[in-house]
Structure 1
Amino acid sequence: MSICFVRLDLGAFSEVVLAEEKRTQRLVAIKCIPKKALQGKENNIENEIAVLHRIKHPNIVSLEDIFESTSHLYLVMQLVSGGELFDRIVEKGFYTERDASQLIQQILDAVKYLHDMGIVHRDLKPENLLYYSMDEDSKIMISDFGLSKIEGSGSVMSTACGTPGYVAPEVLAQKPYSKAVDCWSIGVISYILLCGYPPFYDENDAKLFEQILKAEYEFDSPYWDDISDSAKDFICHMMEKDPAKRYTCEQALQHPWICGDTALDKNIHESVSAQIKKNFAKSKWKQAFNATAVVRHMRSAVAMVTEPRSFPQTPLPIPVWSSLQTT
């Protein structure tokens, strides 16, 4: 297909562009990966694509197609244009526990779907949670399956991976781990959504990891004074040090803070947004797929669009990577 494109993100190994199919005017995000960058990493991209082709969920960014040229692989992804989680919270004028609870419910539902299929995300964090659109009631979407893993029969996960601050204690302890690592990460995200700062923090990674290994965190005053005991109980179950005792997604979805009426409606926006701006500077956030402004102006701001790019006509069959040739 022939497309016009605008760059959204330039990473270490790939470029993400916003593309419009001229015939249908449909917008998508295309991850352009040089084949040279794949040398020695073929298994990683194979795994990511294998995962993406298995999943179809309303709260997960989908892979729509795959193409290749002589020099690149192109992953055509569903476009999400509502911006990053923290951006939207800061922009809100009113934000409550109930809002946080509804966000976590969507994440739990999507991760339960993954776990039921034997898929572990392994890198859940706020940067990978994006709003589908700019609508006030837009759903949240999970993205970035680069570290995800399909559990095989009898296989054991033990590779240390993830993002410091969100990784579970058993991963840092270099013990075999399971899908419970995702539930820990959801607990960390829940904590941040209610106070605006992370439960574990230290400039020194060794000290940070020591906190996580001990599962040492507090509900500090005054930031947690107006947060319900139910919310704190939910977090304690999700951030349980022992993965065998930690809540599963199914158990978490049945907690009254998620499915009941214990989440408070008091406005906590001022406190939470102030802490988010203080502790999560924009320069630290990943920008991939944050296409809001570009989507808004793409059709009217002709100057933003470069020359049309010819795109391969035929989608690649799956699987294809066993015969992948790098240059």
Structure 2
Amino acid sequence: MPGAVEGPRWKQAEDIRDIYDFRDVLGTGAFSEVILAEDKRTQKLVAIKCIAKKALEGKEGSMENEIAVLHKIKHPNIVALDDIYESGGHLYLIMQLVSGGELFDRIVEKGFYTERDASRLIFQVLDAVKYLHDLGIVHRDLKPENLLYYSLDEDSKIMISDFGLSKMEDPGSVLSTACGTPGYVAPEVLAQKPYSKAVDCWSIGVIAYILQRLHPALDGEGSREEVHL
């Protein structure tokens, strides 16, 4: 496994807990766990994505792609990757800590957004996605669960997260892998036709609609899972 997902800032650690003080579990996924931790040297709080290397067997390419994308981007509305460590049987992605929760949960709490608040939020998402597209990166899984508030403040900025399905476009190539989350996927993806970075714009349109009119998919019964279609 070492080297399979190697990046320019790849680091080895005998014990990651010598560097970071692990605190609370922030969330869990199919292959990872996200931990609130404190850098023992700087006292900076971070979110650490802990991934068991055994769980990555056969999926090394996907993780390599995600790390390559995260290394390439730096934008105020995108959750940043600070470092990567390998320690024992795990990979540790040291991520910027954002503490405001998912847009999904705030939509459910508020019911709907005013036009002013919705436009402010969508402007931030569009600015970040334009930045990604200018770099040749397509996110492919934009949805309220992957948009995080930086803080609990009412006027907190929004941050794009989770680049697990993202893809860097090769010059002259087209995308064809059917992936994403039902309800937010563009028609050409569902039809299993070649597509472009415009699929992200479709997803943003769906989110903009939901912000002002709570969609049945967000009433607690809809799927929150990403899928390979």
Q: TM-score, normalised by structure 2?
A: 0.85
Residue matched to 2:219:
280
Residue matched to 1:47:
65
Say yes or no: does 1:103 pair with 2:121: yes
More strand by share: 2
Residue matched to 2:91:
73
Task: Trace 1:171-186 onto structure 2 (pairs within 5 A).
Answer: 171-186=189-204
Residue matched to 1:16:
34
Write the letter of the residue equivalent to 2:211.
L
Distance in 2, matches of 1:95 and 1:182, equals 21
Q: CA deviation at 1:22?
A: 2.6
Which has more radius of gyration? 1
Say yes or no: does 1:170 pair with 2:188: yes
Residue matched to 2:213:
195
Distance in 2, matches of 1:160 and 1:285, equals 17
Distance in 2, matches of 1:189 and 1:92, equals 15
Q: CA deviation at 1:21?
A: 1.5
- Structure 1 runs, 4 residues or longer, greater than 6 Å off: none
Q: CA deviation at 1:10?
A: 2.0
Distance in 1, matches of 2:139 and 2:70, equals 11
Cα separation, partners in 2 of 1:64 and 1:39, compared to 1, 3 Å: same
Distance in 1, matches of 2:101 and 2:155, equals 13
Say yes or no: does 1:134 pair with 2:152: yes
SS in 2 for 1:190: helix
Residue matched to 1:221:
none
Distance in 2, matches of 1:281 and 1:94, equals 15
Cα separation, partners in 2 of 1:95 and 1:190, compared to 1, 3 Å: closer
Write the letter of the residue equivalent to 1:280.
D
Distance in 1, matches of 2:178 and 2:107, equals 31
Q: TM-score, normalised by structure 1?
A: 0.60
Cα pair 2:140 2:166 within 8 Å, conserved: yes
Cα pair 2:22 2:35 within 8 Å, conserved: no
Q: CA deviation at 1:66?
A: 0.1
More helix by share: 1
Which consecutive unaligned segments of at least 5 residues does structure 2 have? 1-18
Distance in 1, matches of 2:34 and 2:27, equals 5
Cα pair 1:4 1:22 within 8 Å, conserved: no
Write the letter of the residue equivalent to 2:220.
A
SS in 2 for 1:5: strand
RMSD in angstroms over aligned alpha carbons?
Answer: 2.0
SS in 2 for 1:31: strand
Higher RCO (CA-CA < 8 Å; seq separation 6+): 1
Identity in percent: 77
Residue matched to 1:115:
133
Cα separation, partners in 2 of 1:283 and 1:77, compared to 1, 3 Å: farther
Distance in 2, matches of 1:196 and 1:91, equals 11
Q: CA deviation at 1:89?
A: 4.0
More moved, 179-188 vs 82-91: 82-91
Cα pair 1:4 1:21 within 8 Å, conserved: no
Which consecutive unaligned segments of at least 5 residues does structure 1 have? 202-278, 287-327
